Structure 1
Amino acid sequence: MAHVEDRWYKVVRLPDNKTVRVKTKLFGKGLRYRVRYIAPNGRERSKSFPDRAKKAAEEFLVSVEADKFRGVYVDPGAGRITFHAYAEKWMRTSRMKESTRQGWEIKLRLHILPFFGARQLGSIRPEDIREWDTELTPRYAPSTRAVTWDVLHAILNAAVDDKRIGTNPCAATSVVAPKPDARKVVPWKVDRVIAVRTGLSTRYRVTVDVAAGCGLRVGEVFGLAVDDLDLDGGWLHVRRQVKRVRSRLVFGLPKSDKERRVPLPGHVASELQGHMAAIAPVAVTLPWESPTSTQLVTARLVFTNALGKAVNPAVFDLNHWQKALAAAGVDRGSTRSNGMHALRHFYASALLDAGETIRAVSEYLGHADTAFTLRTYTHLMPASQNRTRGAIDGLLGGSRPDDGLAEDTDAETPGQGR
């Protein structure tokens, strides 16, 4: 049974049945009070306290028993594992896409382990999180810090679930999570889209029509297959993307792990038909999601490289997209501003300018959250100020019919005195 043991004294029963406290051989040596209790796994645990700390020992015992009763007990020894050892095991056993795992492993190795790796998991406090982020701030962009923060937060959340630690120090109210810069999207104009399209070779020119006309991501463009096109119904189905994982190309689900259907404009459909007539689609087989996967998927890809293989997005960007930008007189800039991703912004801005709803735009872009779409593109939505002014002016500003009421004056009304 759980109790507080005084290691400096013991109770001795005398012949007359009375009891007295006598000193033990440990008197004056080491910690005096030892709390002994049975953990939920059936093992006996103990924790020692110094002289004059009996109250603290009793309070600890009460808290342990309460935690056991509520099912939130954390073994004090469970947090002695190093952060490095726990993080590596978590990374190895967590279920996630292999592409996500690869990116998170890089963030863990470069930005987290150098600071926390040798620390015991249970010793990490909110002040350590704040100090770590302070060290990262001058060296890395907010977007890098935000993703790295997500990795650390997820690892410590798992430690809470595994009852290695009681609470996640990242969740403390004194800790502020880094956020990416809220940069406003500046969409390309039509003439730039056309200029860059012209700078691409015939093999890749129609990729601009698909990205700018249907809002596909670069990996989704190169994952487009013949069976994904409903030319008669006017729909394009986004079912897969081509991506590089651990230096090998694989097929995988579109971002957010969901397929979607996008309206296929007649112009884009016509360009696709012309492209497929000139460069025949090729059946390509790749592993699904992971290079080590035994699940192989075959698709007749609309766009392939000169060897008839799947297009590596990174190789395309370096050998074709960058040259097309240069030919059009466009600075390279960032991947988001002048990479092929810019064509998604063009697509979104065109839809919003035409009066399409933010919900529809979010669905066509394949965003997981409509709120994200609104945050990203709200400044591109047609201004409503003039509509507001017109609506109110139409109700209140026009000529009003005579309502039969006399104007308010100071004159006496006949038949009434002051």
Structure 2
Amino acid sequence: MIRLHLLPAFRDRPLASITTAQVRAWRTACLTRTGEPTVVKAYQIMRAILNTAVDDELIRRNPCRIKGAGRYDVPERPVLTVAEVYAVADSIAPRYRLLVLLAAFTGLRFGELASLRRRDVDTENAALMVRRSQAEMQTGALFDKAPKSDAGVRPVAFPNELLPDVKAHLDGFAGAGRDGHVFLGPQGGQLRRSNFRDDWIKGRTKAGITADVHFHDLRHTGNTLAASGASLRELMTRMGHSTPRAALIYQHVVSGRDREIADRLGSMIRKTRGDTDA
């Protein structure tokens, strides 16, 4: 953001010389050549930098004072039904079936799923331990990064109805050893968005999902499905947005409220799949 959008306009300007009018003109010019979400992020970074300059008494007032410039109303993303989630899972390449199901019924992000190791999967208690998230550099290099906050390290229960899928996947597709990645790319290397995107689009299309549903929308779907009967705090904890430390909630994941959330999701699965004996 800084390299592409801020430095070309402000690299050689003394901080104290930047005016609100210049920021407004820069923002207007940016909107003519890139999307609003990108411009909003660039503006937020610009405002944060200049807030620091105010705190350090380098300037007296932050010129980033454009009403509404730091806010973007994200369009409502689609929510899949349980039946649609399974339609995609049944249509996608078998190695990605569990990836789709866990994204929808645990709400984990792509990076969190891609970084899962065998030792993070507790089949006895039907739970995952999220410890890290995979990120990709501009060079294409992959690395595991720490969560943004303590809340990112968390246990997440998944429906018992997914246990057969989890065990079948571990037997057939996961990497070897306790540190083997749960999800791998088509050639046995690390899973990355670029080697999954085409399979996602093919699976989505084969399943008859005509809307432009992104993989990340499965997280939105899971959050929406889990919201029934869950408190805000419970949802925030499950989705990794709260501040309680994982050590305090790990002891409650199996028998606590997160287990109840997973069980309710399992009930939805049984009802949709018509398997009353599950």
Assess if the C-alpha contact under 8 Å between 1:216 and 1:344 holds in 2.
yes
1:243 equivalent to 2:135? Answer yes
- Find the aligned partners of 1:299 and 1:145 in 2 and give their Cα distance: 40
Question: Counterpart of 1:93?
Answer: none
- Which residue among 238, 241, 244 is the counterpart of 1:364? 238
Which residue is equivalent to 2:36?
A: 142
Match of 2:193 in 1: 313
Structure 1 stretches of 4+ with a deviation exceeding 6 A read none
Return the alpha-carbon distance in structure 2 between the equivalents of residues 148 and 368 of structure 1: 26
Whole-angstrom CA distance in 2 between matches of 1:130 and 1:144: 15
What is the CA–CA distance in structure 1 between the aligned matches of 2:222 and 2:87, rounded to whole Å?
A: 16
The residue correspondences of 1:337-416 to structure 2 (distance < 5 A) are 338-352=213-227, 354-368=228-242
Higher strand share: 1
Rg larger in structure: 1
Kindly indicate whether residue 22 of structure 2 is the aligned counterpart of residue 128 of structure 1: yes
Which position in structure 1 is the counterpart of 2:86?
Answer: 194
The separation in 2 between residues aligned to 1:250 and 1:196, in whole angstroms, is 28
Structure 2 unmatched ranges of 5 or more: 244-278
**SS across alignment from 2:49:** helix
Instruction: Name which of 192, 199, 204 aligns with 1:325.
Output: 204
Distance across 2 between alignment mates of 1:237 and 1:361: 16
- After TM superposition, give the deviation of residue 340 of structure 1 in Å: 1.2
Alpha-carbon distance between aligned partners in 1 of 2:189 and 2:99, rounded to the nearest angstrom: 16
> 1:169 and 1:218, CA in 2 relative to 1: closer, same or farther beyond 3 A?
same
Asked if 1:119 corresponds to 2:18, the answer is no
Distance 1:109 1:279, change over 3 A: closer
Paired-residue identity, %? 32
Q: Paired residue for 2:120, among 214, 221, 228?
A: 228
Q: Secondary structure at the match of 1:301?
A: coil
Change (3 A) 1:207 1:200: same
Shift of 1:175: 4.9
- Where do residues 32-43 of structure 1 align in structure 2 (5 Å cutoff)? none
Q: 8 Å contact 1:130–1:175 — kept in the other structure?
A: no
Greater percentage in helix: 2
3-state SS, counterpart of residue 250 of structure 1: strand
Separation in 1, partners of 2:190, 2:182: 10
Shift of 1:143: 1.7
Distance 1:368 1:259 in 2: 10
2: distance between equivalents of 1:233 and 1:266?
Answer: 9
Q: Distance in 1 between matches of 2:67 and 2:160?
A: 52
Instruction: Tell whether the 8 Å contact from 1:224 to 1:303 is kept in structure 2 after alignment.
Output: yes
Q: Supply the AA of the counterpart residue of 2:231.
A: T
Which of 122, 146, 160 matches 1:253?
Answer: 146
SS at match of 2:96: coil
Which of 285, 299, 303 aligns to 2:183? It is 303
Q: Aligned residue for 1:282?
A: 176
Taking only aligned residues, the RMSD between alpha carbons, in angstroms, comes to: 2.4
Distance 2:163 2:172 in 1: 14
CA contact (8 A) 2:185 2:195 kept: no
| Matching residue of 2:262 | none
Listed one character per residue, the Cα deviations across residues 14-69 of structure 1 (whole Å, up to 9, x for unaligned) are: xxxxxxxxxxxxxxxxxxxxxxxxxxxxxxxxxxxxxxxxxxxxxxxxxxxxxxxx
> What's the CA shift for 1:157?
2.6
Per the alignment, in what secondary structure is the counterpart of residue 168 of structure 2? helix
Structure 2 letter corresponding to 1:323: K
With the length of structure 1 as denominator, give the TM-score of the two structures.
0.53
Q: Is the 8 A contact 1:157 1:168 kept in 2?
A: yes
Which AA in structure 2 matches 1:282? A
Return the letter of the residue paired with 2:131: R
Does the Cα contact within 8 Å between 1:213 and 1:268 map onto a contact in 2?
no
Partner SS for 1:304: coil
Question: How many corresponding residue pairs?
Answer: 241
Provide TM-score, normalisation by structure 2. Answer: 0.77
Change (3 A) 1:175 1:300: same
The equivalences for 1:60-79 within 5 A come to: none
